[in-house]
């Protein structure tokens, strides 16, 4: 155990922390830059078995055909989740560029809502990005410290990507974790802004909990997660009602799905592959949602809405949905945020929701602003 794995972090390292534990990997015994989670699951399991008590850490993109970033590090430090004092300075942002323009995002939401109301699909998640330019190269370690400090319950991660870029984020959403014979997933869907005013904050939460539209949107995700896990489980518990989940910036509806596995050796990567992408980041039906996303988002999602996490030689591990994240490269930083669109979604409310979701990363940059 290392006192503070974050203190030793360098941008070429891989970092992943849940609310209790942090893992820092440095160097590489083995790296995978291509292959979907499903295609790699057996190969990774075999490499881990051969490497002794090893762990593979990294991220997979939204589009499972695109490049992967998974490593068996040379050195692994594990420790309790660090509680850094913060915030620390990350450097000055000199330019903001939303892609697409906010008006174009409103039009895309309206277009998607029309497709849904035509009966072509039930739900799709539409995202936008905010490109930041900084005066100096971004201090990724400082951003990561601020993300960890500012989001104590989040899955925090930093994964090196090709071309010296780093994916850094603080996701509230667990795609899947596996420990011995137990599996867990914590899908989120349905969102409302937090408010600094405690009365309005409570009202926002109560309105979200009572919203039929948000509950229906949430149910689609829970159903997909339950369907994905059922074949692996001899017992699966799926609560009938969602709970409110609070992050420092957002309220969400969340459901804790828990199961007992038929085979305790099935790997967390195999389980993640069976679930990804859930309708929390893609939609229902999945194929129609991907098509709508491809038509309406004018950028490549890259690792956003993919997954970040780890798997060890026993198959244990955890994968977070890669949201509330940014890709950092030199002086440039690309922040991503999306929201689920269903029949009756209001474009202005959806634009506001994505602005609120940018706040996780903006705060880590020492900023608080309308995205």
Ligand X SMILES: C=C(O[C@@H]1C=C(C(=O)O)C=C[C@H]1O)C(=O)O
So which residues are the catalytic ones?
123, 173
Residues 6+ apart with CB under 8 A from 240: none
Other beta carbons within 10 angstroms of residue 283's beta carbon come to 30
- 339 counts as binding ligand X under rule CB under 6 A: yes
3-state class (DSSP) for residue 171: strand
DSSP code of residue 139: -
Residue nearer to ligand X on the CB measure, 18 or 217: 217
- 173 counts as binding ligand X under rule CB under 6 A: yes
Dig out the tokens for 264 from the structure. Answer: 């305790």
Among the residue ranges 62-70, 77-85, 140-148, 182-190, the one whose residues contact ligand X (CB under 6 A) = 182-190
Residue 263 C-beta: closest distance to ligand X, Å: 28
Residue 234 C-beta: closest distance to ligand X, Å: 28
Residue 150 C-beta: closest distance to ligand X, Å: 15
- Among positions 190-229, residues that touch ligand X (CB under 6 A) are 190-191
Residue nearer to ligand X on the CB measure, 252 or 270: 252
Residue 5 C-beta: closest distance to ligand X, Å: 26
- 323 counts as binding ligand X under rule CB under 6 A: yes
Checking 89-92 for CB contacts under 8 A at 24+ apart, the result is 89/139, 89/142, 89/366, 90/134, 90/138, 90/139, 90/142, 90/143, 90/146, 90/364, 90/365, 90/366, 91/134, 91/135, 91/136, 91/137, 91/138, 91/139, 91/142, 92/134, 92/135, 92/136
Range 327-346 burial, b when 16+ CB lie within 10 A, else e: bbbebbbbbbbbbbbbeebe
Among the residue ranges 99-107, 236-244, 267-275, 331-339, the one whose residues contact ligand X (CB under 6 A) = 331-339
Asked whether the beta carbons of 48 and 312 are under 8 A apart, the reply is yes
Residue nearer to ligand X on the CB measure, 173 or 297: 173
Among the residue ranges 31-39, 187-195, 229-237, 263-271, the one whose residues contact ligand X (CB under 6 A) = 187-195
- 302 counts as binding ligand X under rule CB under 6 A: no
Taking the CA atoms of the chain, what radius of gyration do you get in angstroms?
A: 19
CA-CA distance, 24 to 69, in Å (whole number)? 15
Q: Which of 337, 351, 362, 365 binds ligand X (CB under 6 A)?
A: 337
CA-CA distance, 77 to 26, in Å (whole number)? 9
Q: Which of 186, 193, 270, 324 binds ligand X (CB under 6 A)?
A: 324
Residue 29 C-beta: closest distance to ligand X, Å: 33
Q: Which of 281, 282, 356, 362 binds ligand X (CB under 6 A)?
A: 281
Asked whether the beta carbons of 63 and 294 are under 8 A apart, the reply is no
- 283 counts as binding ligand X under rule CB under 6 A: no
- 188 counts as binding ligand X under rule CB under 6 A: yes
Residue 27 C-beta: closest distance to ligand X, Å: 32
Site string for ligand X, 47-86 (x = CB under 6 A): ----------------------------------------
CA-CA distance, 189 to 265, in Å (whole number)? 30
> What residue ranges bind ligand X (CB under 6 A)?
125, 127, 173, 188-191, 252, 280-281, 323-324, 336-340, 357
């Amino acid at each position: 155990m290392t006192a503070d794995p974050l203190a030793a972090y360098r941008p070429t390292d891989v970092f992943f922390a849940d609310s209790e534990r942090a893992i820092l990997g440095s160097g590489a015994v083995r790296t995978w830059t291509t292959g979907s989670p499903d295609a790699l699951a057996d190969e990774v399991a075999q490499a881990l078995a051969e490497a002794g008590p090893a762990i593979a850490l990294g991220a997979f993109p939204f589009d499972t055909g695109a490049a992967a970033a998974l490593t068996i590090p040379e050195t692994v430090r594990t420790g309790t989740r660090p509680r850094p004092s913060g915030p620390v300075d990350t450097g000055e942002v000199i330019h903001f560029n939303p892609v697409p323009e906010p008006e174009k995002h409103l039009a895309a939401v309206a277009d998607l809502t029309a497709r849904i109301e035509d009966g072509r699909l039930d739900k799709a998640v539409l995202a936008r990005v905010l490109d930041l330019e900084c005066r100096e190269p971004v201090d990724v370690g400082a951003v990561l410290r601020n993300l960890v400090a500012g989001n104590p319950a989040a899955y925090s991660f930093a994964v090196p990507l090709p071309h010296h870029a780093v994916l850094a984020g603080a996701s509230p959403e667990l795609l899947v974790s596996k420990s011995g014979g137990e599996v867990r997933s914590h899908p989120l869907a349905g969102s409302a802004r937090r408010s600094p005013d405690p009365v309005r904050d409570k009202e926002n939460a109560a309105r979200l909990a009572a919203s039929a539209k948000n509950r229906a949107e949430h149910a689609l995700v829970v159903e997909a997660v339950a369907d994905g896990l059922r074949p692996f489980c001899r017992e699966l518990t799926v609560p009938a009602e969602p709970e409110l989940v609070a992050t420092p910036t957002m309220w969400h509806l969340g459901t804790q799905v828990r199961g007992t596995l038929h085979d305790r050796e099935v790997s967390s990567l195999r389980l993640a592959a069976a679930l990804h992408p859930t309708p929390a980041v893609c939609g229902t039906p999945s194929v129609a949602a991907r098509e709508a996303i491809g038509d309406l988002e004018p950028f490549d999602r890259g690792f956003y809405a993919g997954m970040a996490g780890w798997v060890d030689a026993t198959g244990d591990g955890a994968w977070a949905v890669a949201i509330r994240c940014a890709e950092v490269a030199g002086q440039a930083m690309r922040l991503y945020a999306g929201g689920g669109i269903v029949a009756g979604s209001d474009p202005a409310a959806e634009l506001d929701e994505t602005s609120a979701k940018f706040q996780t990363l903006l705060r880590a940059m020492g900023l608080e602003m309308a995205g």
